[in-house]
Structure 1
Amino acid sequence: MLPIDVIVPQTAPRRWQKLVIERLKADGYDIAVLHQPGTAGWPAVASAAFAFERRVFRRHGPSLADALPAIPAAVSGRPAELRLDLTGQATPSDIPTISLLFDGAGRDFAAATAVAAGGLPTIEAILDAKTVVGRALPMVDKRESSALGTEDVLARAVTLAVSIPRAFAEGRLAANEPLSKGGRQGAGAMRFASAYLGSALPRLGREALRRLRFRHAHWRVGFRFTDGPGVAETGALGTGWSVLPDAGDHFYADPFPFHWQGRSFIFVEDYPHATGKAVISAVPFDAKGVPQTPQVVLEEPHHLSYPQVFERDGDIWMLPEGSGGGQLTLYRASPFPDRWVAEAALLEGEISDATLFEHDGTLWLFATDRDGYGSTSDTLVVFSSRALSGPWKPHPMNPVMIDRRMARPGGAFVRRRDGGIVLPVQDGTLGYGGGLGLSELLQLDAQTVRLSPARPVEAGGDWPYPKIHTLNRAGRLETIDGIAAVRKRAQDRSSAS
């Protein structure tokens, strides 16, 4: 395969750089490792801050930001056709060279400083120091932690760096975006210390106080029956919403409505706070449209959520997220709605919110993939198959995008009355569950996946929780969910202390 020179710091390289080399070798590339003179060490103040936070969050394993003694140099038997500069400091060459910029700076430490300041760094892959050939907008899950947030960013540096050589080898590396106008001055100890003391530590303290009083997360499901255009057509929540009641000791989320034999159901993630592991429950409605008592219909040893339910080939199926179990499993109702039997493992890995769609005679799955490290909410992957049970083939563009604003699906595809096809997508700009957008499917075939920029769903109306992350509709029944600020009960606060 393609011979690549990977350039790493001679002194104090980072674990993420070593992981890039390992991943490229595993993909079959002929890798030579070259050293860039000088040190890439981070200031002691950053190392101390990260060590403190990792103790606070009880993270004891290796980190992608860890400094390593050295990455051994290695030679290749063939001249390189591509250079991958992971230092941001390599000298120019006649060989095409890809380098990574973190908010416009060549050193990865710029990402740590940006996260400490409360920013969301952008990573750009630059060809020959001139043009952008790839871009990643990583999701930062724990905004209160500079250490864990930087881990999320470096994880997507790995994803982007590993994807670029394949696109280069296949002739898909197009220079189609201008360079961002980021902070090219880089980052030093004083900037990091100022950001950490002025922004990161106060954020950490505020979140600690919030968690003493409030649930970490508590979702509420909304539903309405409507004959008119829904949210996917209007782009706004509008009015007429009712809240699915819960007892407070657990929440419902990820609602998928379904009609069967004249009856309406909503399938939900049912999350007991006491166990921290969700099951799938079904909420039946009576003839007057009043929700009845939810019933647990599926439980596994791992967390379950996002229960997309659909009818196909004479059976009723469910495709829930089970990323904690390491695979995406297809279930069949036997009988509906009370019992579900595992029929096939469709995909391996930490696959989140897989959304099934049939288009031009082919079945497609849109989902996010954690890719080993980092967030589950920023890396879109697409798979196709002729049969529901598979085999499922990865799209050659995978990862289709790395974008916290729209990579993670937030509900089933919608075929609008005007013929357009829309995918609800989660917008993580304000954090997980921070908002929902609508992205139009522009092209989908064996070579190309194109989605439009997401149009934000307008909150307001009579729905009291503006931060939403799921939208679905079946017939007249439309569903959403929103995150609520729910105070802990006295016994919960005492047990936490």
Structure 2
Amino acid sequence: MDLFERLSAAGHRIAVQQVATTGKRSAQLELIERLEAARAPRSLMRPATPLAEVAGRSNPDLTIDLTGRSAHGHAPVLTVDFDGQRQLAAGLAAMLAGGMRPRLTARLNGVAVAEALPMLGDRVWLSRAASELLASTVTLIEMCVTRFAAGRLLPMATPTPPAPQRHGQDLIWRYLPHLLAGLGRRALGRLISSRPFYWRTAHRLIEGPGIADTGDISGPPFIELIDDGKRFYADPFVFEWQDRLYLFVEEYPYALGRGIISVAECRPDGSMETPRPVLEAAHHLSYPQVFAHDGEVYMIPESSGGNELVLYRAEHFPHAWVREAVVVQGKKLNDMTLLIRDDRFWLFGTEQRGGGSASDTMVVYAAKALAGPWSPHPMNPILIDRRAARPGGPFIVTPDGRTLLPLQDGTEVYGGGLGIAELTVLSDDDVQFGPVQPVLPGEAWARKGIHTLSRSGRLEVVDSCG
């Protein structure tokens, strides 16, 4: 139903035909659904009510085959593989065998034309993971239809040949050890952790190359921004204004249960004030991207909990902010990151579509004026990639003119790492990035990974999970 509605809303004329499939639905899949019914009652893995047939043209432009049978006809046929498998049960078994790093491959007449690397928010309960996987499948098909209509659905540069097909009869034997191990890790985590979830922000003053230049966390040590145990600080952004350095952060007071935006000034000796709240809403706020334009100071924080993206202006910097404009309404946009180029304004971030992840589907918006109107890029969604979709800090313009973007890597867990990629193509027709270069660990901040990177002048900041 979600796919039908999205394609219809995009202006495509859709016909629906029900076809008989061979064999029964996987008994192992049905068993897992029953075991996890209370954990994921609305999982997309559960059988959906069949759509009523809708008549269409006798000569369609494209056939989308959702049966896993690889249908044939006069029109090109689009199919999707789950970790190389056409059937969901076999695909989930392959995903479990591969360490819960799913890969979806879209094929046009059997030739790979696009892929998606979905991020899994729940890596323990299979019904939840499968639901996110299927939500990404819907988005991948939507992406392929958009490119097909534009004449740009082309074979992938690196061919992905079809894999040998299995029946998924090992699903339950892979699922049970995975579930028990995952529940054990969660129980252990609750025992050893004094907080339900926790982020750490750190800063340093440096001369010369920083993380974006070296590609690792080396050099002078970072100093942690200490909290009182009743809150944490995350999503740090540095902003320099009138020769003074400020650190904007998401502050999350546990008692409040949602994020607010706070600011601290960096003293000349590199020490940091205690952050003070400057912006609060009825919903969660984070990712406080602060920037200057035409003599004014603005902020675009993440506010996906309110289904809106809002531009704020500093009435009295840095402590008083007013709503200047609603940039995008009715969308769950995350970590939207501003780039100003050639008198155009661009926003890059992720969108949570349907029941999918909030961190793996990149979208781009553009405008001729900061206050809008803002329009979605015609090729949205740009990509689906847990390693390369959600920004992790402001754009970086190098001395030689390259434009780099920190990108979060959610392969193992949200906040598990960061990479940096170069924006190589940006136009009204196309958006492309080069390969993501992972930020390597180092002695300057001895944590598992970093989640945000920002620098202005000598002040460089990062954050990490736990």
Shorter-chain TM-score above 0.5 = yes
Specify the alignment match of 2:207 in structure 1.
227
The amino acid that maps onto 1:47 is E
Moved more, 317-326 or 394-403: 394-403
Measure the CA separation in 2 of the matches of 1:402 and 1:227.
37
- Offset at 1:370? 0.6
Measure the CA separation in 2 of the matches of 1:187 and 1:224.
54
Measure the CA separation in 2 of the matches of 1:141 and 1:200.
15
Contact 2:86-2:165 within 8 A present in 1 as well: no
The residue matched to 2:451 in structure 1 has which SS? strand
- Offset at 1:397? 1.6
Specify the alignment match of 1:265 in structure 2.
246
- Offset at 1:73? 2.2
Specify the alignment match of 2:404 in structure 1.
422
Contact 2:146-2:379 within 8 A present in 1 as well: no
Measure the CA separation in 2 of the matches of 1:371 and 1:476.
38
Q: Deviations over 1:124-183 (max 9, x none)?
A: 110111x11111110111212211111111111000112222211111111124443675
- Offset at 1:64? 1.6
Moved more, 26-35 or 98-107: 26-35
Q: Compared with structure 1, are the counterparts of its residues 42 and 251 closer, same or farther at alpha carbon in structure 2 (3 Å cutoff)?
A: farther
Measure the CA separation in 2 of the matches of 1:39 and 1:181.
24
Is 1:304 matched up with 2:301? no
- Offset at 1:442? 0.9
- Offset at 1:115? 4.5
Is 1:19 matched up with 2:2? yes
Specify the alignment match of 1:384 in structure 2.
366
Q: Deviations over 1:53-93 (max 9, x none)?
A: 3524xx55x32222034332221145211101111204322
Select 1:481's aligned residue among 449, 463, 466. 463
Q: Compared with structure 1, are the counterparts of its residues 69 and 384 closer, same or farther at alpha carbon in structure 2 (3 Å cutoff)?
A: closer
The amino acid that maps onto 1:479 is V
Specify the alignment match of 1:125 in structure 2.
106
Measure the CA separation in 1 of the matches of 2:65 and 2:287.
39
In structure 1, runs of 5+ residues without a counterpart are 1-17, 485-497
Q: Compared with structure 1, are the counterparts of its residues 113 and 275 closer, same or farther at alpha carbon in structure 2 (3 Å cutoff)?
A: farther
Specify the alignment match of 2:69 in structure 1.
89
- Offset at 1:203? 1.0
> How many residues end up aligned between the 2 structures?
462
Q: Deviations over 1:348-371 (max 9, x none)?
A: 200000000112221110010111
What root-mean-square deviation, in Å, do the aligned CA atoms of Structure 1 and Structure 2 show?
1.9
Q: Compared with structure 1, are the counterparts of its residues 180 and 212 closer, same or farther at alpha carbon in structure 2 (3 Å cutoff)?
A: farther
- Offset at 1:121? 1.4
Normalised by the length of structure 1, the TM-score is 0.89
1:115-264 matches, within 5 Å, as 115-117=95-97, 118-129=99-110, 131-180=111-160, 184-188=164-168, 190-214=169-193, 215-240=195-220, 241-264=222-245
Contact 2:43-2:130 within 8 A present in 1 as well: no
- Offset at 1:42? 4.2
Measure the CA separation in 1 of the matches of 2:369 and 2:324.
13
Moved more, 268-277 or 464-473: 268-277
Identity %: 42
Contact 2:2-2:354 within 8 A present in 1 as well: no
Select 2:19's aligned residue among 9, 14, 36. 36
Contact 2:82-2:92 within 8 A present in 1 as well: no
Specify the alignment match of 1:66 in structure 2.
46
The amino acid that maps onto 2:309 is L
Measure the CA separation in 2 of the matches of 1:40 and 1:136.
28
Measure the CA separation in 2 of the matches of 1:138 and 1:175.
20
Contact 2:59-2:74 within 8 A present in 1 as well: no
- Offset at 1:41? 5.7
Normalised by the length of structure 2, the TM-score is 0.94
Specify the alignment match of 2:433 in structure 1.
451
Specify the alignment match of 1:109 in structure 2.
89
Q: Compared with structure 1, are the counterparts of its residues 142 and 72 closer, same or farther at alpha carbon in structure 2 (3 Å cutoff)?
A: same
Q: Compared with structure 1, are the counterparts of its residues 331 and 187 closer, same or farther at alpha carbon in structure 2 (3 Å cutoff)?
A: farther
Contact 2:366-2:374 within 8 A present in 1 as well: yes
